[in-house]
Each structure stands twice: as C-alpha cells, then as structure tokens.
Amino acid sequence: MQRVAVVDYGGSNLRSVAKALETVAEGAHEVVVTAQPDVLLSADRVVFPGQGAIGDCMRGLQKNDLLPALRECLHTRPFFGICLGLQSLMASSDEDGGTAGIGAYAGQVRRFRSDAGPGPDGNPRKIPHMGWNDVTWLRDHPIIHGVASGTRFYFVHSYYVVPDDPALALGRTDYIDPFVSALAFGSVFATQFHPEKSAAVGLRLLKNFLAWNGH
C-alpha cells in the first residue's frame, strides 16, 4: 500500500484535505498528516496544503526542519501543492512585508490590485478572491484528464504566483487580472484553488494524482 503524506506546518485545513484524499483512495493508499521530515521522505506521494499567511507557513516549516525534506520530495516523487502550498514554492512573496519562499521556482507572489473597480456584472471585485471561478488549461497533463478546460473550482486567496518561466503555467484564471491558477513541472503539480473544496471535479484531480507516476 502506498503512503500519501500531508504536510503539517501548523496551519489549518489539513483534516479536510486528508479526508478528501481518503475518499478517493478507497483504501488503496494510506494517508498520514505529518510534521516529521523522515515520514515525508518515506512517503510515496506528498501533498502540501495551505491556508493563512506565508510568513507563518515558512516559520512552521523551519521550526520542524521540514524544508530540506520538502525540497527533496519536490524532485523525487509525485507532489501536489494547494493554495499556499503553491505560493510557497516561489522564491519570494510580497506578503508579510516580503517573505522568502522555498525557492523551488524563480518568481514572485503578488497581491491583487485594489484599484480594479467593478467586474463585468457591476459588482465590486473584492479581495480576497473568494468563490468559484473558471480554470483554463494551457496544456495537457495526466492529473487534469477527465476535467474539461473552463471547469470551475473554489478559490480563497489575496495573492497569486507570477513565475519567471511562463512554461510552468498549466492553468489560468481571470480575476481582476489573469493569473496562474495551476502550475506543473516534473513531478510537481500545484493549484491556487482548493480541490478539496471543489466538489466532484476537485476529487477527480486528487484521484488522478494518486494514479500519477510523476512523469
């Protein structure tokens, strides 16, 4: 039986991610929530979920000495980053007065503009971006099989990633400005939206992840 490790850096939402994974695993995978580097390194797959501020996230990772293990897992096994788990992969974030990320990819995390004005429906475009929105796939990937381009997923965020290499982008969404809502490179797949809150389509992504060999 394969083991799926859900990274616990002291943040919230871990239980709902673990429950969603257990639902789609159907007993074929062991799902563990862990803050231990050795457990991460012994897992077959890693899921890095996140809610909250990036400063707290990075401090939690450092406190538990998780950064070296996370960096190794990014290159050696299927890895799924969710929301803050995507943002933290960048080199730095504008949040919390400027915060260094894990640095897996060159790029910034930026805040939505506050001067955007109303949306096409006349309603104000508030920050955070919260609710359902379309994701347009920019290329194919095994994890999105069976999920059409333009499918709606659930978002909750005030910041978004701007990778230096545009080829990293897998999905794009429009809110105030177009932004990268999914990223994929090598054995890494990461989303700004929350698959565990996105009903059947989100569970489909998680199920595809459990079947993916990382290539």
**Residues recognised as catalytic:** 83, 194, 196
Which residue is associated with the tokens 């080199």? 91
144: left (phi over 0), alpha (psi -120 to 50) or beta: alpha
Burial of 103 (0-12, 13-18, 19+ CB in 10 A): middle
CA–CA distance, 174 with 149 (Å, rounded to integer): 13
Token code pair at residue 70: 């996370």
Token code pair at residue 5: 């490790």
CA–CA distance, 114 with 206 (Å, rounded to integer): 33
The number of CA neighbours under 13 Å toward the Cβ of 119 is 11
Return all residues near 62 (Cβ < 8 A) that are at least 6 apart.
none
Are the C-beta atoms of 155 and 194 separated by less than 8 Å?
Answer: yes
